[in-house]
């Protein structure tokens, strides 16, 4: 099942949302610069650890 | 087909399905399910007595549902072998008490309701895949009224209607009132050349098929008025332009524009088409008594299972990918497998026959030689280092590595004839037990060392695959395209060969920027090896970030052999990125990775000690 994920281009730094299927590699290109160095970035949790 | 059926050295297995294929070139083992026909095909004389008595009536698939057939039937009049079969899904029951009328009618007693499917195991040297294609279903394009109006038919239905062996015995009639239509509209590119619905590619055959149909109508019924609505007519084959001209000379009207709406007069059942004629820019309404949708071609629905069975690859449109589009157009990437016909791309009869002849010739070369010559670029497994993890067998796109078994002490084995030399197994092996001939770890590391020995801050280390990216660089060069001279290319057969440690080694030796470059997914010359590259690079980006190294210093790019301009552009962009990497950052990276390397060495040493103690 396709999910919505956050992606970052490691060439121009552009961040965008796109669909992806977990575990299925897909050819990606940055919508801004066209680079294939696109990395899926995990959404950071807002919950802060307390000691 | 009759000749094939009679040939003493051709075994024709009709009404059969391939269930499993294993092995490799020269040694394929194919498991075939020969489905039960419930009629002895050797004894059946196709007299048709059984059909007369069969009480079941279902739509005839061959006649596009325009007429019916019985539960006992012959799929098409020219079928070989010419023998009946029973469609058990629609038969009133294989219990003779339930019906059994066909059995009673058959004088030769050919019908056997107890007949079972037969499993055949065939050993073959080569395989030719000629499984054909499917036709686009236009029900989703409701603007043409295919679901709403009976007189809107597809080009396949047209073929059956005008055929002498068709449901109307060759009398061309419209479905609503069985009268001959005198005004016929053909709509081109239904399901083809559309980014939104249907398929984005041209289906190749539809233009000429429509031209042929218009000529056929003019020959049979000269008073017929035919109008063809098109985007552009693609008549590029031998004699095709003449045929197109002949069609126009005979009075067929060609209107450049695809109708946006089709509606019916409920009284006369005639149809009206609203279209913008793009040559005049005017919106016109045309009347027709019948509309024919020229539907495109698609890959078969079961293409995926066929692909998996034969370890084949497909292009983005779903048709099978050839080994090389120019030099090996009928070869599959898996050795010993060849393509014929529309399984590779939509094509007409002439092209299919040409390709089939080529495939047969290519297959016979191998069979006559009795042996195959392979490139020496294959994998070798060092069993002393292997830990039976089975990773190599899992990642091999060709299934060229046998499974390991730790309990039985069976090491994985490379089938040399099946190995294509992509090197994915070598890059994925966690214990470095796999050596790729001619592309060994030592050879590649030595190239990295040599590149970064002097002036490392001004160098970009780029790993490029032999077939696409390296060729793209070649094209950039021969096209005289400028790109920075400080990019140093290291050629591998596939980007799948680029081991994690090559990238880390380059960064440890002071590379400011590393590029891994390979074929686009659809062009991968090693089936799906490129997907393993992507996975590995994603893993590496995470690792670099964990170690405190900017992931941006590892770049990934898919460049095809035709993309010289892209190659040049990417290299210029990388050079700009390289300039921003400071000496301080590189030194810190080197220190981090040096420390990591020491940790890794200590871990391996400890592992060896544990193994020795055990």
pLDDT 10s digits, A10-37 = 999 999 999 988 888 999 999 999 999 9
Annotation: CATH topology of B134-298: FAD/NAD(P)-binding domain (3.50.50)
Longest dimension (CA), chain A: 43
ipTM: 0.88
Annotation: CATH topology of B451-614: Rossmann fold (3.40.50)
Task: Name the CATH architecture for the domain at A3-41.
Answer: Single Sheet (2.20)
Residue A40: closest C-alpha in chain B: B538
Q: How many CB atoms lie within 10 A of CB B434?
A: 25
With an 8 Å Cβ cutoff, are B552 and A10 in contact? yes
Nearest alpha carbon to residue B73 among B87, B59, B62: B87
pLDDT-based confidence at residue B600 (cuts at 50, 70, 90): confident
Q: Is the pLDDT of residue B2 over 60?
A: yes
With an 8 Å Cβ cutoff, are A39 and B541 in contact? yes
* Type and span of the H or E element at B596: helix B583-613
Predicted TM-score (pTM) of the model is: 0.83
With an 8 Å Cβ cutoff, are A35 and B534 in contact? no
Rounded-to-integer distance, Cα B436 and Cα B424, Å:
9
Q: Where are the alpha helices (DSSP H) in B225-348?
A: 240-249, 303-310
* Nearest CB to A39; choose among B520, B531, B551: B551
Q: Using CB atoms within 10 Å of the CB of residue B273, give its burial: 0 to 12 exposed, 13 to 18 middle, 19+ buried.
A: buried
Q: Does B577 touch chain A (CB under 8 A)?
A: yes
Q: Is the pLDDT of residue B233 over 90?
A: yes
Helix axes B206-220, B155-162, angle to 10 degrees: 30
Task: Name the CATH architecture for the domain at B374-438.
Answer: 2-Layer Sandwich (3.30)
Q: Does B572 touch chain A (CB under 8 A)?
A: no
Cα B310–B311–B312 angle (5° rounding)?
90
CA distance B108 to chain A (A): 55
For residues B157-168, average pLDDT: 92
Q: Which residues of A touch B (CB under 8 A)?
A: 10-11, 25-27, 33, 35-37, 39-40
What is the percent of chain B with per-residue pLDDT over 90, rounded to a whole number?
83
Instruction: Give residue B177's pLDDT.
Output: 92
Q: Is the pLDDT of residue B614 over 90?
A: no
pLDDT-based confidence at residue A43 (cuts at 50, 70, 90): low
Q: Which residues of B touch A14 (CB under 8 A)?
A: none
With an 8 Å Cβ cutoff, are B551 and A11 in contact? no
With an 8 Å Cβ cutoff, are B558 and A36 in contact? yes
Residues, chain B: 614
List B293's β-bridge partners, or say none.
B154, B187
Q: Is the pLDDT of residue A49 over 50?
A: no
List B487's β-bridge partners, or say none.
B460
For residues B398-421, average pLDDT: 92
Instruction: Give residue A45's pLDDT.
Output: 47
With an 8 Å Cβ cutoff, are B577 and A35 in contact? no
DSSP state of A45: P
Write down the domain spans for chain B. 2-122, 134-298, 303-369, 374-438, 451-614
Longest dimension (CA), chain B: 95
Residue A24: closest C-alpha in chain B: B531
Nearest alpha carbon to residue B440 among B452, B460, B455, B426: B426
With an 8 Å Cβ cutoff, are B555 and A40 in contact? no
The owner of tokens 């195991």 is B121
pLDDT-based confidence at residue B95 (cuts at 50, 70, 90): low
Rounded-to-integer distance, Cα B379 and Cα B419, Å:
7
Write down the domain spans for chain A. 3-41
* Type and span of the H or E element at B537: helix B529-547
Interval B286-299: pLDDT, tens: 999 999 999 999 99
With an 8 Å Cβ cutoff, are A27 and B520 in contact? yes
């Amino acid at each position: 099942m396709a999910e919505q994920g956050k992606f970052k281009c490691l060439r121009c730094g552009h961040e965008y949302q796109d669909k992806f299927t977990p575990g299925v590699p897909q050819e990606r290109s940055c919508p801004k610069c066209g680079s294939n160095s696109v990395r899926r970035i995990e959404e950071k949790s807002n919950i802060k650890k307390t000691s | 087909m009759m000749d094939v059926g009679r040939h003493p050295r051709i075994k024709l297995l009709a009404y059969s399905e391939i269930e499993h294929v294993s092995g490799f070139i020269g040694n394929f083992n194919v498991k075939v399910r020969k489905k039960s026909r419930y009629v002895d095909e050797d004894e059946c004389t196709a007299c048709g007595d059984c059909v007369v008595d069969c009480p079941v009536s279902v739509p005839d698939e061959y006649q596009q549902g325009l007429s019916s057939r019985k539960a006992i039937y012959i799929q098409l009049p020219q079928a070989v072998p010419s023998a009946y079969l029973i469609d058990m899904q629609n038969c009133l029951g294989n219990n003779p008490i339930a019906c059994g009328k066909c059995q009673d009618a058959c004088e030769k007693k050919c019908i056997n309701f107890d007949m079972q499917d037969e499993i055949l195991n065939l050993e073959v040297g080569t395989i030719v895949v000629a499984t054909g294609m499917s036709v686009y279903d236009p029900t989703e394009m409701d603007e043409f009224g295919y679901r709403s109006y009976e007189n809107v038919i597809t080009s396949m239905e047209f073929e059956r209607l005008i055929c002498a062996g068709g449901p109307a015995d060759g009398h061309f009639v419209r479905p609503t009132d069985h009268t001959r239509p005198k005004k016929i509209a053909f709509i081109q590119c239904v399901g083809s050349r559309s980014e939104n619905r249907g398929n984005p590619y041209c289906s190749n055959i539809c233009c000429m098929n429509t031209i042929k149909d218009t000529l056929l109508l003019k020959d049979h019924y000269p008073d017929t008025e035919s109008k063809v609505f098109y985007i552009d007519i693609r008549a590029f084959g031998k004699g095709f332009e003449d045929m197109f001209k002949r069609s126009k000379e005979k009075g067929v009207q060609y209107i450049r524009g695809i109708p946006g709406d089709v509606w019916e007069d409920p009284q006369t059942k005639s149809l009206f088409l609203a279209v913008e004629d793009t040559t005049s820019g005017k919106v016109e309404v045309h009347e027709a008594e019948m509309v024919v949708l020229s539907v495109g071609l698609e890959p078969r629905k079961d293409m995926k299972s066929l692909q998996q069975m034969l370890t084949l690859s497909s292009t983005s449109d779903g048709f099978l990918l050839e080994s090389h589009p120019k030099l090996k157009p009928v070869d599959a990437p898996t050795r010993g497998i060849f393509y014929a016909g529309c399984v590779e791309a939509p094509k007409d009869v002439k092209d299919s026959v040409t390709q089939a002849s080529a495939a047969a010739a290519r297959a016979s070369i191998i069979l006559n030689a009795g042996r195959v010559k392979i490139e020496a670029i294959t994998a070798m497994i060092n069993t002393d280092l292997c830990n039976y993890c089975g990773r190599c067998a899992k990642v091999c796109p060709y299934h060229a590595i046998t499974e390991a078994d730790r309990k039985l002490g069976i090491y994985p084995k490379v089938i040399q004839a099946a190995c294509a030399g992509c090197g994915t197994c070598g890059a994925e092996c966690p214990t470095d037990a796999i050596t790729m001939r001619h592309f060994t770890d030592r050879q590649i590391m030595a190239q990295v060392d040599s590149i970064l020995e002097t002036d490392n801050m001004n160098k970009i280390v780029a790993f490029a695959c032999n077939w696409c990216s390296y060729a793209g660089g070649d094209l950039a060069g021969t096209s005289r395209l400028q790109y920075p001279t400080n990019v140093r290319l290291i050629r591998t057969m596939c980007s799948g060969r680029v081991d994690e440690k090559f990238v880390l080694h380059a960064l440890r030796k002071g590379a400011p920027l590393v590029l891994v470059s390979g074929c686009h997914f659809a062009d991968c010359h090693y089936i799906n090896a490129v997907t393993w590259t992507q996975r590995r690079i994603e893993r590496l980006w995470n690792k670099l970030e964990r170690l405190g190294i900017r992931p941006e210093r590892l770049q990934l790019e898919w460049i095809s052999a035709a993309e010289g301009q892209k190659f040049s552009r990417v290299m210029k962009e990388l050079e700009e990125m390289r300039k921003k990497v400071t000496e301080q950052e590189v030194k810190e990276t080197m220190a981090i990775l040096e420390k990591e390397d020491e940790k890794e060495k200590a871990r391996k040493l400890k592992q060896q000690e544990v193994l020795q103690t055990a």
